[in-house]
Chains A and B, each alone.
Chain A
Amino acid sequence: MAMTMTQKILAAHAGLESVQKGQLIRAKLDMVLGNDITSPVAINEFNKFGFDKVFDKNKISLVMDHFVPNKDIKAAQQTKQCRAFAKTFGIKNYFDVGDMGIEHALLPEKGLVGPGDVVIGADSHTCTYGALGAFSTGVGSTDMAAGMATGEAWFKVPAAIKFNLFGKLPKFCSGKDVILYIIGKIGVDGALYKSMEFTGDGLASLSMDDRLCMANMAIEAGAKNGIFEVDDITLKFYKERMTHPYTVYSADPDADYDEVIDIDLSKIVPIVACPHLPENTKKASELGDIKIDQCVIGSCTNGRLSDMKIAADILKGKHIAPDVRCIIIPATQSIYLDCIRLGYAETFINAGCVVSTPTCGPCLGGYMGILAENEVAISTTNRNFVGRMGHVTSKIYLSSPATAAASALTGYITDPQASDM
């Protein structure tokens, strides 16, 4: 029976010849992930049920990234609890201050997730690793606890929407503009319970950073996972960092899709998602004068080196507008170091921005850039829900790093293609 890429990976991990949409299965896990917010809840459950060992100490990743370096005493207690758990059970991939990064930038960078893997993470943006051709999905803390104990999770096999990409992105457009365009088209529940499978000739022009950004936001369309067909770009990326063998799965030519959507990458323009849902998209050029108070460039969506590069290219030799605060957060220590080596950090600081150690902080209104009453932010993060980055009356516009950097310079939401960058 013909299967999608996701269905093939799930069948293999459930020890079945084939699976079909709607089928409930139990699958073996290649990686179980948690962070400093979700792991404590999982650890409490793990302990409550008296599990005395983890299924594989090499296949669990605990990344302290949301409120780390600790934002307050309570956050410090939570990190302390994770640290003690990691020590007790000999968790190999425990990442704390000094070697941590934002989890969904860090795991691919360290080669901990690869093609054909099944990954669960107690963080909704775990779907990011679909960029590498893995089945990867966000779950809650109880699933994480069960996964750490048994190495398995239950799944309902998803149906799928196929995105056939062709053409090549114009200047100043990136994976972020493509995924915002898609979410605007299908809505925040447009792929509810489904896989979003990305394929087509257009993949050749999308870097791993573009793909990681797109898979990252599959959850914002309600999807169970986003997944990219594996090609030379994927394999080159993974082989340079791989920690374990990989398997390449491809969809059958006659696999069943609920829908096939063609996307001409050459027609993509800079897109902005307006408050308070990622589906409220508009062309950056059609927004009119929207004054911003703050700009955030970073996160698991857009804190990678190419994001830093485009921001640095736009900000180089210039200064951000008066009354704008610009916070730039390279997503991992390695990206941070590259920003220093390549001169991006100096460019940012000379332009009047701050450059922070890796953290999820501002994206979820944790710390490091909370918005006050009625303030407006442009942000390269992934959610613009009510109160997400601070006060309930504050407003968040989501965009690519190019649009965010261009906007920081003018003080208004600005189309990077239209301005003289």
Chain B
Amino acid sequence: MKAHGTVHKYGDNIDTDVIIPARYLNTSNHAELASHCMEDIDKSFTSKVKKGDIMVGGANFGCGSSREHAPIAIKESGISVVIAETFARIFYRNAINIGLAILECPEASRKINDGDEVEVDFNTGEIYNHTSGEKYKAQPFPPFIQEIISKGGLLNSISQDGK
């Protein structure tokens, strides 16, 4: 499985309040949530994002509230993968549980620029920056988590386990 798209780059400590402000949490409608994604730090995000695009953040991406609305809004807006130096732990869990691809890669997080064209190979964890010609390598997931992802998220994996 591969992703290929244009990068939307943000900084450190991108919190779930800026990913999806709480004033919009009176709905769980995915499309409605996506229509407000990132608006408090990047008003143009929703108009410029294209299906398959890639989001890159710095350290502690997704910190703050446990709202699953945040990874849902990012996924629904068309983002194919989020690359960051590190993820806040609840966001990390939520992304895996709902099937939003994420990769931890400090080098990619530092070197990729906004607007770069980037390709990600999920099987190898390799990230290729078409704009700069650089290659980066992300940490692969532990097998336990790969299994959740391969079964299509947590609830799929539970129902397939017969629970």
Interface residues of A in 112-158 (CB under 8 A from B): 121-124, 126, 138-143, 145-146, 149-150, 154
CB <8 Å contact, A41 and B69: yes
Q: Which 9 A-B pairs have the closest CB atoms?
A: A140-B94, A74-B26, A140-B68, A364-B22, A142-B97, A189-B60, A124-B66, A387-B40, A141-B68
Q: Chain A 26-66 against B: per-residue CB contact (8 Å), 1 yes, 0 no? A: 00000000000110110011001110000000000000001
CB <8 Å contact, B68 and A122: yes
Query: Taking the complex as formed, is A211 at the interface, i.e. its CB lies under 8 A from any CB of chain B?
Result: no
- A189 to B69, alpha carbons, bound, how many Å? 22
Q: Looking at the complex, which one of B18, B27, B41, B154 makes contact with A143 (CB distance below 8 Å)? A: B154
- A150 to B157, alpha carbons, bound, how many Å? 12
- A42 to B73, alpha carbons, bound, how many Å? 16
Q: Looking at the complex, which one of A50, A66, A141, A277 makes contact with B13 (CB distance below 8 Å)? A: A277
CB <8 Å contact, B68 and A154: no
Closest B residue to A41 by CB, please name it: B28
Query: Taking the complex as formed, is A166 at the interface, i.e. its CB lies under 8 A from any CB of chain B?
Result: no
Query: Taking the complex as formed, is B93 at the interface, i.e. its CB lies under 8 A from any CB of chain A?
Result: yes
- A221 to B28, alpha carbons, bound, how many Å? 28
Q: Looking at the complex, which one of B17, B93, B144 makes contact with A385 (CB distance below 8 Å)? A: B17
Minimum Cβ distance to chain A for residue B16 (Å): 8
How many of chain B's residues have a CB under 8 angstroms from any CB in A?
Answer: 42
Q: Could you say which residues of chain A place their CB within 8 Å of the CB of B78?
A: none
CB <8 Å contact, B155 and A45: yes
Q: Chain B 127-150 against A: per-residue CB contact (8 Å), 1 yes, 0 no? A: 000000000000000101100000
Query: Taking the complex as formed, is B65 at the interface, i.e. its CB lies under 8 A from any CB of chain A?
Result: yes
Query: Taking the complex as formed, is B59 at the interface, i.e. its CB lies under 8 A from any CB of chain A?
Result: yes
CB <8 Å contact, A364 and B88: no
Q: Chain A 381-411 against B: per-residue CB contact (8 Å), 1 yes, 0 no? A: 0010111100010000000000000000000
CB <8 Å contact, A387 and B17: yes
Closest A residue to B91 by CB, please name it: A140
- A44 to B19, alpha carbons, bound, how many Å? 21
CB <8 Å contact, B93 and A143: yes
- A261 to B148, alpha carbons, bound, how many Å? 36
Closest A residue to B145 by CB, please name it: A24
- A172 to B13, alpha carbons, bound, how many Å? 31
Query: Taking the complex as formed, is B31 at the interface, i.e. its CB lies under 8 A from any CB of chain A?
Result: no
Known: A41-B28, A387-B21. A154 touches B40 (CB 8 A): no
Q: Looking at the complex, which one of A49, A139, A192 makes contact with B155 (CB distance below 8 Å)? A: A49
CB <8 Å contact, A140 and B21: no
Query: Taking the complex as formed, is A298 at the interface, i.e. its CB lies under 8 A from any CB of chain B?
Result: no
CB <8 Å contact, A140 and B59: no
CB <8 Å contact, A140 and B90: yes
CB <8 Å contact, A49 and B159: yes
CB <8 Å contact, A124 and B23: no
Q: Looking at the complex, which one of A67, A138, A387 makes contact with B26 (CB distance below 8 Å)? A: A67
CB <8 Å contact, B28 and A139: no
- A74 to B25, alpha carbons, bound, how many Å? 9
Q: Could you say which residues of chain B place their CB within 8 Å of the CB of A49?
A: 155-156, 158-159
Q: Which of B15, B26, B59, B71 has the most CB of A within 10 A?
A: B26
How many of chain A's residues have a CB under 8 angstroms from any CB in B?
Answer: 50
Apart from A24-B144, A72-B26, A78-B26: 20 A-B pairs, beta carbons within 8 A: A24-B145, A38-B68, A49-B158, A50-B159, A78-B27, A126-B66, A140-B97, A142-B68, A150-B163, A189-B60, A189-B86, A222-B63, A224-B89, A365-B22, A366-B23, A383-B15, A383-B17, A386-B17, A386-B18, A387-B17
- A392 to B86, alpha carbons, bound, how many Å? 25
CB <8 Å contact, A364 and B158: no
22 A-B interface contacts by CB (under 8 A): A24-B145, A37-B25, A38-B66, A41-B72, A49-B156, A71-B26, A74-B26, A121-B66, A123-B65, A123-B66, A142-B68, A143-B97, A150-B163, A154-B144, A189-B59, A189-B86, A192-B60, A192-B88, A364-B22, A383-B15, A386-B41, A388-B17
- A192 to B98, alpha carbons, bound, how many Å? 21
CB <8 Å contact, B155 and A145: yes
- A270 to B4, alpha carbons, bound, how many Å? 50
Query: Taking the complex as formed, is B64 at the interface, i.e. its CB lies under 8 A from any CB of chain A?
Result: yes
CB <8 Å contact, B25 and A66: yes
- A74 to B28, alpha carbons, bound, how many Å? 10
Query: Taking the complex as formed, is A12 at the interface, i.e. its CB lies under 8 A from any CB of chain B?
Result: no
CB <8 Å contact, A188 and B90: no
Query: Taking the complex as formed, is B5 at the interface, i.e. its CB lies under 8 A from any CB of chain A?
Result: no
- A222 to B63, alpha carbons, bound, how many Å? 7
CB <8 Å contact, A24 and B158: no
Q: Could you say which residues of chain B place their CB within 8 Å of the CB of A383?
A: 15, 17, 64-65
Q: Looking at the complex, which one of B22, B27, B90 makes contact with A139 (CB distance below 8 Å)? A: B90
CB <8 Å contact, B144 and A74: no
Q: Could you say which residues of chain B place their CB within 8 Å of the CB of A97?
A: none
Closest A residue to B159 by CB, please name it: A49
Q: Chain A 367-387 against B: per-residue CB contact (8 Å), 1 yes, 0 no? A: 000000000000000010111
Query: Taking the complex as formed, is A246 at the interface, i.e. its CB lies under 8 A from any CB of chain B?
Result: no
Q: Could you say which residues of chain B place their CB within 8 Å of the CB of A71?
A: 26
Closest A residue to B65 by CB, please name it: A124
Query: Taking the complex as formed, is A75 at the interface, i.e. its CB lies under 8 A from any CB of chain B?
Result: yes
Minimum Cβ distance to chain B for residue A103 (Å): 12
Minimum Cβ distance to chain B for residue A224 (Å): 6
Query: Taking the complex as formed, is A163 at the interface, i.e. its CB lies under 8 A from any CB of chain B?
Result: no
Minimum Cβ distance to chain B for residue A183 (Å): 12
- A41 to B59, alpha carbons, bound, how many Å? 27
